[in-house]
Structure 1
Amino acid sequence: MTEQLTWLVTGCTSGMGESLVHAILAKGDRVIATARGREKSAVERLAPLKEAGAAVMELDVTASESVIKEKAEEAWSIYGKVDILVNNAGYIDGGIFEEIDEEFLTCVLRNNAIGPLNLTRAFLPYMRSRGTGTLLFMSSVGAYFGTPGASAYIGAKGLLEGIVPNIAVEVAPFGLRTSILTPGFFNTKVFTPGNIHWRAPNPLPDYAEMNKVAQDQCNAFDGHLPGDPRKAGDIIVDAVKGTGQCEGMELPLWLPLGSDAFEFIRGNVQAKLKICDEWEDIGSATNF
């Protein structure tokens, strides 16, 4: 793809979303950068990206399906199309599984999985009618290993990992491509104290030490992670367009980002292959 494309990226006030917007603009494409309003409006929060050349709009992925559909229509009208939808928005709410409840889990799932899926569903009629489009979903390398306190957030990413491959085969006949972006640990502000919430409603003394270790580890990560988010943004744009360092390559259903992502994913796959080798004779002896 060498023509100018239009991207819509959610969650653009910082981190991977912000870096991706700059990469898109640097490579000559148009981008609609979105964020939800907080103390300031989304337009105010996205002002630096607007100055850089992006169109900006408010979009809360946790809104009702009817509001999400209205936002999709609004976004489509800005440039008359959206070629690439990037479901990036999300947040981390840490909590040991026994200490959280249904409301806690549901809120995290809505922000990190259900909302992005609703937004995708809202854009599908437009993309199908054009017979072209790319759907990107931001996952996490955490979906390939377990860590204390991350069950809700990683559960949401795991939900995307399970659903998106099915979406991919359903929309492919209409000329739509799909990819799950799976970053490792990147040096964004995600681990800056205060950005990760620790709001489990039912704290238990038995998990106090485990919580402390998890929170101390997250604090220690801040500013000391290996990945450069701008380089990841460049790779994403090139992978979608098949240009630059990705010329001649097809966009994969899973796109790992970061050397550590390949390490963790490969370790996960190798562990499963080891189980298959050890248990195949027993586990497969089930036929009539």
Structure 2
Amino acid sequence: MAPLVWLITGCSSGFGQQFVHSILARGDKVIATARTLSRIAHLEQLGASTLQLDITSSQSSIDATIAKAISIYGRVDVLVNNAAFIQIGTLEDLQYEDWVKQFDTNVFGTIKVTKAVLPHFRERKSGCMVFISSLSGWVGHDACGAYAGSKFALEGIVEALNRETAPLGIKTLLIEPGRFRTNLLSSGNMKAVPSRIPDYADMSSEKMKGLAKEDQAQPGDPKKLVEITLDLVKGEGVAEGREIPLRMPLGIDCADELRTKCEETLRVLEEWGSVIRDTDLQR
């Protein structure tokens, strides 16, 4: 198989940077991007191409950057939408602008990058789109509503996108990490608003302490997640000879919480089935 060309967003740290290392180690080519180009300059020494890309820029600006990316090797085979940050705070404590910033990056920025790459994939009738979602795309934890909302939105958008593009020969993959040891909870990637409302004070304080303690202490190994993702895209390793799902939850905590939510949903459908179904107009 000819080497694949990967385009990755958010490569200054975490999963993005690990993708670059793992992709190059497998002999593929990678175009690494980040909001600040100097933060990924060292990746060029490893053999990556680098481009400045702020996914909150205008569609026309992103289109131009993607066109430049495609011109480097003449094509892009895999897009990995990885760039994101996490906003912490209760619904009452967060300002409207906080919600806009969260969705502007995690949802609308991802949409703009994908929209810029899709014409290239459609023309070639091939390509793979990887979206880094989260356990928060399934479960809304307290004081994480903005982040969970953005990931819930992403999951619905990508599910619809898959239905639109699968008949065109384009593959789609949602990776749903639990707690992995990345910089997501660092001061540069997490925006936290402690509650000023007495009713939420204790919960908010415990949440902030817990997240601070969790930073760089998460159990998940980013390299393992990235290697599994590469296997899924390339049909190698753990994915060889297996049907690839749209959604791939990864992490012990993710498996446990998803199972609990699915079981709760099935229980509601069972216990309230007659009420749920008895809603048609009577004729």
The two structures have a TM-score, normalised by structure 1, of 0.93
In structure 2, the partner of 1:13 is 12
In structure 2, the partner of 1:132 is 126
Query: 2:256 matched to 1:277?
Result: no
Pairwise mapping of residues 50-89 of structure 1 onto structure 2 (< 5 A)? 50-89=44-83
Secondary structure at 1:98 match in 2: coil
Gap regions ≥5 residues in structure 1: none
CA contact (8 A) 2:93 2:193 kept: no
Secondary structure at 2:6 match in 1: strand
Match of 1:269, as an amino acid? C
Match of 1:30, as an amino acid? K
- 1: distance between equivalents of 2:88 and 2:34? 22
Match of 1:9, as an amino acid? I
- 2: distance between equivalents of 1:139 and 1:90? 9
Secondary structure at 2:115 match in 1: helix
1:284 Cα deviation after fit: 0.9
Query: 2:236 matched to 1:243?
Result: yes
1:199 Cα deviation after fit: 4.0
In structure 2, the partner of 1:159 is 153
- 2: distance between equivalents of 1:203 and 1:16? 33
Q: Which of 168, 171, 180 is 2:174 aligned to?
A: 180
CA contact (8 A) 1:193 1:219 kept: no
1:85-135 deviation per Cα after TM superposition (whole angstroms, max 9, x unaligned): 000001112111111132211111011111101110111111100010001
Pairwise mapping of residues 75-154 of structure 1 onto structure 2 (< 5 A)? 75-154=69-148
Of all paired residues, the percent bearing the same amino acid is 40
- 2: distance between equivalents of 1:74 and 1:21? 19
1:216-252 deviation per Cα after TM superposition (whole angstroms, max 9, x unaligned): 0101112221110011111111110001222112332
1:191 Cα deviation after fit: 2.2
- 2: distance between equivalents of 1:67 and 1:195? 23
Query: 2:31 matched to 1:32?
Result: yes
Higher RCO (C-alpha under 8 Å, 6+ residues apart): 1
Match of 1:58, as an amino acid? Q
Root-mean-square deviation (CA), in Å? 1.5
